[in-house]
Amino acid sequence: MSQSPQDQALQQTALHALHVELGAEMVPFAGYDMPVRYPMGIMAEHLHCREKAALFDVSHMGQFNLAGDDAVAELEKLVPGDINSLKTGRMRYSLLLNEQGGILDDLMITRGAKDLFIVVNAACKDADEAHMRAHLAGDTRLTKLDDRALLALQGPQAANMMGQYDAKLAKMPFMSGMQASLDGLDCFVSRCGYTGEDGYEISVANDQAEDLARALLAFDDVEPVGLGARDTLRLEAGLCLYGSDIDTNTTPIEASLTWTIGKRRKIEKDFPGAGPIMDQLFDGPSRLRVGIRPDGRAPARAHTEILDLDGNIIGEITSGGYGPTVGGPVAMGYVDAAFANDGTEVGLNIRNKVHKAHIAPMPFIKKGWK
């Protein structure tokens, strides 16, 4: 069967052949041909991650190295996080902002001995690279790591497995990174993830990625998991998906991500969009991202209208669906600030029928990270 021009245009990760071998259903995602599910199915994959360990291919994400004497100061010109206070080997979640305070992307930053390791979203990585190159000055050098794959091992058993390679990996703190040898392969290992579980992300050379993936899958408690379960896992954990829950029209304050703005940065007010953001921090935003629990069994998908008890539109769902661990529908979205308190009763316009729901705290599950 010949491929369509659209299929031919899709990029492939270093693990593409392995996905096909394992029977994955492949779909276009952020310009890549990616596995959405494997034969065990999204529900089983989701629960396996919560109970044991799941292996994800996240090689479509953008990996960068930022080096130079002024690398930290230069990066702080683009994000609101306190990167200067990061100790070597520690990592921080932060945001690339525009001058209006809108979120260009969210990213992970790890401080090395002489450089910074940065991971950004797949759909934004080209724009992020252009943005950073346009604003970084001095001797700061940005290198795109196209020769490296990225694997994520997530779940309560992940530490036990990583500890069999190196005891230090099982003991490393959450939100930290270190160089390690896995089966003789040189890797950069971060203890972090996007599922609400304890876990790791492993950066490895493209030509060694399949060997590493096969070694990890050889553990009895590890199964391959696709994008479908990755989405339900992050939704239950209350984690934002860029382009759905946060975007250039959303500020960190509105997105309930105020904690990403470092104390020193609030005082110095020297990050992009500091004016509008500090105004919102002082006066309060007009809307807020909140968790939502439908009272019935009907899931509320993205773009579902959120109503007050009089039927007025007060917001919109940005992510929603069935939460396998929760055992019912969960969602997040934006509501007028007056309705953002936990327990507030709201309505959801699902297929022109109003369903009862209430504002609920996130995450919807007990977090598994240490």
9-57 pLDDT per residue, tens: 899 999 999 999 999 999 999 999 999 999 999 999 999 999 999 999 9
Average pLDDT value for residue range 206-224: 98
Distance (Å, rounded) from C-alpha 154 to C-alpha 369?
10
- pTM of the predicted structure, to 2 decimals: 0.95
Q: What pLDDT band is residue 367 in, cutting at 50, 70 and 90?
A: confident
Q: List, in order, residues 6 or more apart from 24 with CB less than 8 Å away.
A: 35, 36, 37, 38, 224, 226
Residue 1: pLDDT above 60?
A: no
pLDDT higher than 70, residue 3:
no
Question: What domains can you pick out in the chain, each with its CATH number?
Answer: 5-56+147-235 (3.30.1360.120), 286-360 (2.40.30.110)
Q: pLDDT tens digits for 143-191?
A: 999 999 999 999 999 999 999 999 999 999 999 999 999 999 999 999 9
Angle at 114 (CA atoms; ends 185, 131), nearest 5 degrees = 95
Question: What average pLDDT does range 245-270 have in this prediction?
Answer: 98
Q: How far is CA 214 from CA 18, 21, 148, 183, 223, in A?
A: 9, 12, 17, 11, 11
* Confidence (pLDDT) at 96: 98
Q: What is the pLDDT of residue 368?
A: 80
pLDDT for residue 29: 97
- Look at residue 370 in the predicted model and tell me its pLDDT: 62
H or E element at residue 223: strand 222-224
Instruction: Find the mean pLDDT for residues 100-125.
Output: 97
**Distance between CA 138 and CA 79 in Å, rounded?**
18
259 band by pLDDT with thresholds 50, 70 and 90: very high
Residue of 110, 83, 80, 105 whose CA lies nearest to 191: 110
Residue 369 has pLDDT above 90, yes or no: no
CB 81 within 8 A of CB 92: yes
Q: Tell me the HSE value of 162 on the side-chain side, using a 13 A CA sphere.
A: 30
Per-residue pLDDT at 109 = 98
Quote the CA–CA distance of 15 and 35 in Å, as a whole number.
10
What percentage of the chain exceeds 90 in pLDDT? 96
Q: Collapse the DSSP code of 269 into the 3-class scheme (helix H, G, I; strand E, B; otherwise coil) and give the result.
A: coil
Tell me: the pLDDT tens digits for 69-101?
A: 999 999 999 999 999 999 999 999 999 999 999
Q: What does DSSP say about strands 353-360 and 32-37: parallel, antiparallel, or unpaired? A: unpaired
- On the question of pLDDT at 2 being above 80, the answer is no
